[in-house]
Structure 1
């Protein structure tokens, strides 16, 4: 299989422990948490599975494995429609069962769809690190996939995802987190970073990590394969510096948020801390927290339902129309406001379509009611839902 395989068909995946609510150590937010009693949110983590192909054109949805099936902030959301592939088990680990299920239900169809869109033969070379969570018999579950396991203790040296991709992803996630903080602070002069961080929950972290994954450029993905297949990248002489640029951006955002003491060394320290092992005391605290979360999961309380009604959509459209009207009336650069409004309208087109579907449904319900109700009785129009 390897002799004629195309660059787009080299694929890899790598798991990584990710502490989703960890702040720069020299900020007062981190200092306050370290001195507070009880479980530390900075130690709460998930396991991520990140990957894509050697051309950088295909990036998989991140697989997230957490220790709670339905954290409080996620109640009412459809897990099948999250921007990540969501799984849960007691330890929050990528076990063989989790990986095998992901491999069959997500990896296989995603790769086949990509090949179909590129008019390519369905033939894949999948490179994995030699981790306990990777089943040795993956090739038994799908055709046209050859799996190569890297030699033990070589992951940090040659595994493509460990050659700058994961480091860049983590930096982009932290940058997005600080960008969200600045946006929050700019909304009201009375707001503080402490308020933002207090309300920063796992659903927001998932949104940020999904967007951070999308931000990783194809070139960054492609350059990561140099150690495994250097001859394919001989023409790529210019080395990017996405990490250094991201670190500088984070430092500037942190200063803007009021953390003037932060420097780039603090940022590097935080990003590298994701690779540290937890102490026995940390693991005991995590186990207690998992037990508490497990009780919440087992209570069987019905999740709050989230409905997007036609009334909600109509109100949102009105607000968007008002915003676009301000751009049109106040911006002296007509071309700029027109382009911005075009992008906005294109962005929420899916909600316009949903609104029309709801209207048609109501019209059909009204017609059905008319056909069923005797002529001498009034017809009550159903509400838009």
Structure 2
């Protein structure tokens, strides 16, 4: 329509955002107007806080319960074993992607209603939040009960609410200390394993690992339930066989160091 270029940049009223930002814009960007939200109104006006984040968290929780059900169904895996051996960064990222894809265009549009009502006047949002959110919560509750968990809709709402606040510096430092302690305990455990491992020759360990690979391959190939077979072999591999792989890896590393020192001397 040959109108001049105009941009409105809406920003939250955070300490990190300079109030003089508008004056600091270069001349070539003067077509941008910066408007700050009023202080202490983030949960009331900020679009992402108008059910978008909440809906995303519930969709993520649903994806998490679905993943847990898929892994533990038909096996003897406990929830603790699921968290320890089958929940990792790659799985988490896939669930995040799945949850974000579930956030609808209608949800994103409705988020502007309080801040900019005129932009969504053509839509009827009467009872919109209840219709959108409740089925997801009900599905989560149903999945949880299938896995033997005693939860209801209020529990899911509380779970989402617990993660509504960002972690403070103190929280992050505490998590870091816990992580360091776990690494230390694991290191001590590895030393204990090495004492036991000294009684086993590397040749015997390699022979056992080769036999295990043959056995696992046969089970996964011929078992009538491929998923169950794979879960079982993966679990045994993680909880038992991996220990012997680590022993050989440490010995190989030590041999490399010893060889290097001999050459240097």
TM-score (norm 1): 0.40
User: Is the 1:193–1:257 contact (alpha carbons within 8 Å) kept by the matching residues of 2?
Assistant: no
Whether 1:246 and 2:136 are equivalent positions in the alignment is yes
CA distance in 2, matches of 1:292, 1:133: 34
Pairwise CA distance, 1:235: 2.4
SS in 2 for 1:125: strand
Superimposed CA distance per residue, residues 26-82 of structure 1 (whole angstroms, 9 cap, x where no aligned partner): xxxxxxxxxxxxxxxxxxxxxxxxxxxxxxxxxxxxxxxxxxxxxxxxxxxxxxxxx
Superimposed CA distance per residue, residues 74-133 of structure 1 (whole angstroms, 9 cap, x where no aligned partner): xxxxxxxxxxxxxxxxxxxxxxxxxxxxxxxxxxxxxxxxxxxxxxx9754332211234
User: Is the 1:129–1:155 contact (alpha carbons within 8 Å) kept by the matching residues of 2?
Assistant: yes
- C-alpha change, 1:134 and 1:279, in structure 2 (3 Å) is closer
CA distance in 1, matches of 2:171, 2:154: 25
- Choose which of 37, 50, 66 in structure 2 pairs with 1:150: 37
Corresponding position of 2:15: 132
Q: Which ranges of structure 2 fall in alignment gaps of 5 or more residues? A: 183-265
Corresponding position of 2:82: 196
CA distance in 2, matches of 1:214, 1:220: 12
- C-alpha change, 1:213 and 1:278, in structure 2 (3 Å) is closer
- Choose which of 268, 272, 288 in structure 1 pairs with 2:161: 272
Pairwise CA distance, 1:276: 4.3
Q: How does 1:224-373 map to 2 (within 5 A)?
A: 224-238=111-125, 239-240=127-128, 241-259=131-149, 261-276=150-165, 282=171, 284-289=173-178
Pairwise CA distance, 1:263: 0.7
Cα RMSD after superposing both structures: 3.4
CA distance in 1, matches of 2:174, 2:137: 31
Q: Which ranges of structure 1 fall in alignment gaps of 5 or more residues? A: 5-120, 294-385
Q: How many residues align?
A: 174
CA distance in 2, matches of 1:169, 1:124: 28
More helix by share: 2
CA distance in 1, matches of 2:7, 2:179: 38
- C-alpha change, 1:140 and 1:285, in structure 2 (3 Å) is same
Pairwise CA distance, 1:255: 0.8
Superimposed CA distance per residue, residues 336-369 of structure 1 (whole angstroms, 9 cap, x where no aligned partner): xxxxxxxxxxxxxxxxxxxxxxxxxxxxxxxxxx
SS in 2 for 1:211: helix
- C-alpha change, 1:292 and 1:257, in structure 2 (3 Å) is same
CA distance in 1, matches of 2:6, 2:77: 53
Pairwise CA distance, 1:176: 0.6
Pairwise CA distance, 1:166: 0.6
SS in 1 for 2:136: helix
Whether 1:206 and 2:93 are equivalent positions in the alignment is yes
Pairwise CA distance, 1:193: 2.4
CA distance in 1, matches of 2:79, 2:90: 18
Pairwise CA distance, 1:228: 1.3
Pairwise CA distance, 1:234: 2.1
- C-alpha change, 1:252 and 1:145, in structure 2 (3 Å) is farther
- C-alpha change, 1:242 and 1:280, in structure 2 (3 Å) is same
